[in-house]
Structure 1
């Protein structure tokens, strides 16, 4: 199936060199492994995988586990409380970060941002925490604006310097489908007003950004069902639409994990409360076509709910990393996969007009990000003084700078991708030339074999001709033999009749002689 256990690897490069593309590999790490868990959060920062919190056996967790991707070693960091930036209300506790599950984790600058999540420490609104990776210290953030209701199982996506949060489940177990935006520079929340029908309320779904203009959501759970629908939000028009995808059928699921590499959105795990999803599915976001990258056995740790999935680049090699989850038991295993590079030579599939239009827009959005950034500005209709105007101007400048930086990164990435594509095409061309030469040689060999077989057939036909003639003569001999056998049978019958006649005459002669003597 789609997973493999590789022993004896001491570095990630050794591990990746032993496996092929689109195959999950179980990592055998050094160090003290974290306890099994689900509904945790994970993020990669500078060759390290950070895992925070989660749930195990009904208990929430607050630990910070770190996996060194290069050395394949687990470690635990003791994050302290940053007393200079904590809140002054009941949210502050002796514990730096409250044990939580169902929270979201995002890397921003040199910090990890933890948003929302369920915890035993009650709060009416969403809480935000920062983990400073330079000092390993926690700080609670006092956000302002239209702070959303507390929740867990939401999706949180980074766009420039803003977080977009969608859906989730509040403390009263009410399902949500609202859209909230947090400005990380001002730590101000805003409730976004969207157009057209939003996705149904849900939790444990996933979301991803396409080209800094489109928010894509997939799947999730309600209390009665699981979803496999695909929705997209245009951040420029703030309009929701449901996409009609093509390709492989993707089963409804919640509690899955996802990440985007290039134009591919990878979905791993999840389930429908009856069984776990065994397929690792991929959505080509330029065509909105589903495919199955690989699959695992049932009850496999990757066929779990509440696992975490991250992506990173190690020495030019793009990799996926999946950790944890629950499928009847809590997993603490880590799996790695090398995704197959994009094949630009694949034929385009026919799409519906709506999907084709969105697809074209998504492709353009990967190159142009400024319009998308403008679409998520936080509006302040009540600020009419000069301070408000100056704030808006500063915000617009920051947005443009973020957009230009994002565009620069995309252009650099496209150049690198073009170089990689050139090398790949060159390699494929060499492979095709080698294959052509081998096929020509094989064709010549087959032609020689056919000529030899043809000569052999001619020789056999020449040898068979006399045999046919002999068989024809044998047939006439058989007919003559049958005629002789019939003549023989007739002669034998005539002899037998004659013998019987001669035998009857002698008895008659003897009988007549006896009668004469008596007289």
Structure 2
């Protein structure tokens, strides 16, 4: 009798969750930021339909879940919070417990911020050398209270937002490429490593041969991809992109490219772009994006999990276990960056994939930046 009652109770709970639980719609061009066991997802659009509904929600990764049924995953919708605005093609970085959203196509201000403790959304006024509105499909990295945003359509500079003062400053270099978009940015100690992207052209992954060559299985092109850094393994993983369905791995100590060993089949079966990849415990969670097929582009509602707990034996899984952890590989503390007195230097590249380290003496360089007056923002019409 008790067994029967348990089955009935479980069925009722399953039915209730299936009917009344919040289920996020598919989207691409969104942001995913992990803070304190919550993966905050904001923004995004549905291909051919404009901004996606439910612009702010999170996944509670303190709990176990399965990706077999997205409606039963522990989602919490925050879209009803006062002032939440739509945004896609933007970049997002967290300064402690506050997430800053910058650029993209938006129906609010150029910069928005969300306090994850008070659950308050705001549109702060910033000052200084405010970037132009062409800042789409770029990535940010944060060091201290400075958010670094490189490039953007027709832009040729590094933009820095001091979150403590809400003040923008810039610096330029002959090594910074104009019109960089759709790359990945990884913070390595006090340096930022940029990989892939498009330069001055919105429609094709660019090649660039004027770079130092890396070794191994070098990707020929890479853009519109997602990336994660696994510090325990000194490894950056690049996921998919415009021109392939490949996962690439870069050793950040030797700058050697490999194709990681994955023990089973899984993951997206089509080309996936404008998705997010987030390292959560022992897993990489790949969320949403746009599928590219011979028939066109389609919005993805899929969630994938790659277990990366063991460096040489990754595997696709459907069950998330918050207790599972990455097994560290003993390594020396040697930094993979160039000497610390070099503020900007080329780090990697080869056969069409661009890589730069911007860091080392970057803080000294920033101290010499001359404050510039505010500039008028210009409107930007979205390219097809």
Structures share fold, TM-score greater than 0.5: yes
Q: Distance in 2 between matches of 1:378 and 1:186?
A: 17
Q: 1:218 aligns with which of 188, 195, 198?
A: 195
- Residue 106 of structure 1 corresponds to 93
Q: Distance in 2 between matches of 1:324 and 1:289?
A: 29
Once the two structures are superposed, the pairs formed by residues 47-196 of structure 1 within 5 Å of their partners are: 47-56=37-46, 57-61=48-52, 63-71=55-63, 72=65, 73-81=74-82, 96-119=83-106, 127-150=110-133, 151-169=135-153, 175-194=154-173, 196=174
Secondary structure of 1:376 counterpart: helix
- Residue 212 of structure 2 corresponds to 243
Q: Which region of structure 1 is more displaced relative to structure 2, 140-149 or 248-257?
A: 248-257
Per-residue deviation, 1:378: 6.2
Distance 1:65 1:138, change over 3 A: same
Alignment of 1:256 with 2:225, yes or no, is yes
Q: Distance in 2 between matches of 1:375 and 1:302?
A: 43
- Residue 348 of structure 2 corresponds to none
Distance 1:104 1:223, change over 3 A: closer
Q: Distance in 1 between matches of 2:214 and 2:207?
A: 11
Q: Distance in 1 between matches of 2:330 and 2:76?
A: 40
Once the two structures are superposed, the pairs formed by residues 370-381 of structure 1 within 5 Å of their partners are: 372-377=362-367, 379-380=369-370
Q: Distance in 2 between matches of 1:299 and 1:312?
A: 17
Q: Deviations over 1:241-296 (max 9, x none)?
A: 93321111314132111121212111112113xxxx22211111111111112579
- Residue 282 of structure 1 corresponds to 249
Q: Distance in 2 between matches of 1:192 and 1:219?
A: 21
Q: Distance in 2 between matches of 1:329 and 1:206?
A: 23
- Residue 482 of structure 1 corresponds to none
Structure with higher helix content: 1
Q: Distance in 1 between matches of 2:208 and 2:239?
A: 16
Q: Distance in 2 between matches of 1:345 and 1:373?
A: 27
Secondary structure of 1:259 counterpart: strand
- Residue 199 of structure 1 corresponds to 177
Per-residue deviation, 1:63: 1.3
Q: 2:238 aligns with which of 267, 281, 290?
A: 267
Distance 1:119 1:294, change over 3 A: farther
- Residue 36 of structure 1 corresponds to 26
Work out which of the two has the higher radius of gyration on C-alpha atoms and give 1 or 2: 1
Secondary structure of 1:242 counterpart: coil
Q: Distance in 1 between matches of 2:21 and 2:207?
A: 38
Q: Distance in 1 between matches of 2:273 and 2:239?
A: 9
- Residue 5 of structure 2 corresponds to none
- Residue 258 of structure 2 corresponds to 291
- Residue 46 of structure 1 corresponds to 36
Per-residue deviation, 1:79: 4.9
Distance 1:343 1:360, change over 3 A: farther
Per-residue deviation, 1:193: 2.6
Q: 1:209 aligns with which of 156, 162, 187?
A: 187
Distance 1:46 1:143, change over 3 A: same
Q: Deviations over 1:402-423 (max 9, x none)?
A: xxxxxxxxxxxxxxxxxxxxxx
C-alpha contact 2:141 2:147 (8 A) present in aligned 1? yes
Q: Deviations over 1:306-361 (max 9, x none)?
A: 00111233xxxx33211011013211222222323465589xxxxxxxxx997564
Distance 1:243 1:141, change over 3 A: farther
Once the two structures are superposed, the pairs formed by residues 425-440 of structure 1 within 5 Å of their partners are: none
Structure with higher strand content: 2
Q: Distance in 1 between matches of 2:151 and 2:126?
A: 19
- Residue 332 of structure 1 corresponds to 301
Q: Deviations over 1:348-383 (max 9, x none)?
A: xxxxxxxx9975648x99xxx99554443363479x
- Residue 382 of structure 2 corresponds to none
Secondary structure of 1:153 counterpart: coil
Q: Distance in 1 between matches of 2:56 and 2:211?
A: 37
TM-score, scaled relative to structure 2? 0.68
Per-residue deviation, 1:120: 5.3
Q: Distance in 1 between matches of 2:366 and 2:175?
A: 19
C-alpha contact 1:103 1:116 (8 A) present in aligned 2? yes
C-alpha contact 1:154 1:165 (8 A) present in aligned 2? yes
Alignment of 1:305 with 2:273, yes or no, is yes
Give the count of matched residue pairs. 298
Distance 1:34 1:58, change over 3 A: same
Provide structure 2 residue ranges, at least 5 long, that are not aligned to the other structure: 1-17, 66-73, 292-296, 312-327, 344-358, 373-384
Q: Deviations over 1:28-57 (max 9, x none)?
A: 9x9433111101000111111111010103
Secondary structure of 2:236 counterpart: strand
Per-residue deviation, 1:60: 1.4
Secondary structure of 1:293 counterpart: coil
C-alpha contact 2:90 2:105 (8 A) present in aligned 1? yes
Distance 1:330 1:378, change over 3 A: farther
C-alpha contact 1:182 1:189 (8 A) present in aligned 2? yes
